[in-house]
Structure 1
Amino acid sequence: MLMSISLIIIGFLVGLLVISTGGGGAAIYLGLLTSVFGLAPAVAASTSLVTAFPSLLVGAYGHYRTGQIHFKVGNQMLMTAIPATIVGALVAPYISSVAYTWIVAIILTGLGIQILIKRFFSHGDHPVQHQGSQAAIYGLISGIMVGVAGLSGGGPIIAGLLVLGLDMLPAAATSSYVLVGTSLVGLLFHLSANNINWSVGLSLMVGAVVGAFCAPRLLAKVDAAKLNAYVKPFMGVLLIIMGLRMLV
């Protein structure tokens, strides 16, 4: 009982934070499931998608109601992200456990470093440039992450949207929209593998959905810039620690 309550609280906090910053949360869930709960990488990958998808759906709908989603650039990303997700999911079963662990660890660490670089070393505003080729590249990277590693792929999506010139709030909203599509495709493939830890995943999912429901409403009342100034470095460091711990 205590374990379930702890998982719900963790899920709520992660769901609240990642929907507020445009991520899907599967990277953090994956790190927690492997480094804290000791799940095998393949099981953790499937479980992380099960946990993240419902909260993404709730969060995206909340952003849709506020009118913050940029569907044009989001659809450009989805055009390459979904095929890449399918290819990644088909290849994933043939990857060895050791290779799988290294792939997940490298992706988690890389995402963490990317977040910290974006937070501390990227300065200045960029004009909005919804360039289809750039959007397609970020969508491709995201799809591969979803299909192979069971991540939601939010890192390259939110980074790409910011590079294309979107402000943080519409970038977070559009990212949630894109991740609903990629996570659904990845989830369907991982469900067929039948390697989900439901006892852990369901408790995390409940908390994550509540957090995702609250996130768009809280963003309307708080200074999103100040929130991200504190949340993003924390998420970056957390992902790096999780990735490195997998290799120890």
Structure 2
Amino acid sequence: MNDLYLEKEDVNVNTVLLLIVGLIIGIVVISMGGGGGAIYLGLLASVFKIAPLSAAATSLVTSLPSVIIGSWGYYRQKKINFRLGNQMLLSAIPAVVIGALLAPYIPNHIYRWVIGIILIILGLRIVIQKNQQSSVKKHTLLMASMYGILSGLMVGIAGLSGGGPVLAGLLIMGLDMFQAVATSSYVLVGLSVIGAGMHLTGGQVDWQLGLPLMIGAAVGALIAPLLVKKVSSTSHSGAVKWVMALLLVLMGINTIR
């Protein structure tokens, strides 16, 4: 009887902890135009020790409501660049399917090195690029397609949200921080729907862990667009771009390790 009570108490503590963690991740990640797939994946695999396939499926399903809510908040503020976002989606969605089909045949260590190097390069590109006006030209749309394909492969192969290449690409193409974050969230809605749908069919989602994370992240996603709006109207928006660049480099290094 005591063991049953202690076990139930542990479940309650874990649920509260997951709600809080989800809230924090939702605020931070949606504020930076990401979906949080890599963070959820790392948390579920390293802390809760669930199987990699289940962790990938749970991370994608968990991030879906928060990216939808975050994207809706940015849409209401009219900050989404739909032309670039739709171009990325058109390229990324087939790449998700192709990535999922290729995943069983790609050695994990090769994938880690390729993605890690790409993330590091993208982070450095954000730092060294010259300030430029946001404009949509033919070559810009081609670049949007390339970044879309890269992010789609990341979703399909590894169960990540693919937010890194999307956000970096939008910043490199000249969007300001607010527009880049908003458009990235919009793109990730489409990617997360496809990725989550493909993983849901496998029945690998751990709902006991994923549901509290999902609820917390959804609440955080309501706060994030308001936070980004406030930050972007101050002199700190340039510093946020540096933080994003640093996070991409650190993600790349961590992927390679």
TM-score class normalised by the smaller sequence? 0.7 to 0.9
Structure showing greater radius of gyration is 2
Contact 1:11/1:211 (CA < 8 Å) preserved in 2?
A: yes
Matches within 5 A, 1:42-61: 42-61=53-72
CA contact (8 A) 2:33 2:180 kept: yes
Give the alignment partner of residue 164 of structure 2, picking from 152, 155, 158: 155
CA distance in 2, matches of 1:103, 1:12: 33
Amino acid at match of 1:195: Q
Counterpart of 1:189 (choices 189, 195, 198) is: 198
- Paired with 1:210 and 1:227, the residues of 2 have a C-alpha distance of 25
Which of the numbers 240, 251, 254 marks the counterpart of 1:228? 240
- Change in CA separation of 1:87 and 1:237 when aligned onto 2, cut-off 3 Å: closer
Residues of 2 paired with 1:214 and 1:20: CA distance?
9
Matches within 5 A, 1:1-248: 1-92=12-103, 94-95=104-105, 99-100=107-108, 102=109, 105-106=112-113, 109-110=116-117, 113=120, 117=124, 121-130=127-136, 131-222=140-231, 223=234, 225=237, 228=240, 232=244, 235-236=247-248, 239=251, 243=255
Spell out, residue by residue over 1:53-108, the C-alpha distance to the aligned partner (whole angstroms, 9 max, x if none). Answer: 1100000000000000000111111111011111112333x348xx44x4675477
CA contact (8 A) 2:116 2:255 kept: yes
Distance 1:235 1:5, change over 3 A: farther
Asked if the contact 2:122/2:165 (under 8 Å) is kept, the reply is no
Change (3 A) 1:109 1:28: farther
2: distance between equivalents of 1:233 and 1:221?
20
Q: What is the RMSD of the two structures over their aligned residues, measured on CA atoms?
A: 2.5
Task: Name the counterpart of 2:9.
Answer: none
In structure 2, C-alpha distance between the alignment counterparts of 1:185 and 1:7, rounded to whole Å? 25
Distance 1:45 1:107 in 2: 19
Contact 2:61 2:196 in 1 (8 A): yes
Q: Distance in 2 between matches of 1:74 and 1:53?
A: 17
Equivalent position amino acid for 2:195 in 1: G
Provide closer, same or farther for how the CA distance between residues 107 and 153 of structure 1 changes in structure 2, counting only shifts above 3 A.
farther
Matches of 2:193 and 2:110, distance apart in 1: 21
Q: Give the number of aligned pairs.
A: 240
**Post-superposition shift, 1:28?**
1.3
Contact 2:129–2:172, Cα closer than 8 Å, also in 1: no
The offset of 1:29, in angstroms, is 1.1
8 Å contact 2:57–2:204 — kept in the other structure? Answer: yes
> Aligned equivalents of 2:174 and 2:242: distance in 1?
21
Q: Structure 1 regions of 5+ residues with no counterpart?
A: none
Deviations 1:94-131 (A, max 9, x none): 348xx44x467547745763575356x42531232432
1:184 to 1:153, Cα distance in 2 relative to 1, 3 A: same
Call closer, same or farther: CA 1:49–1:111 in 2, change over 3 Å.
farther
Query: Quick one: distance in 2 between partners of 1:31 and 1:225?
Result: 28
User: TM-score, structure 1 length as denominator?
Assistant: 0.85
Name the CA distance, whole Å, in 2 between partners of 1:6 and 1:126: 43
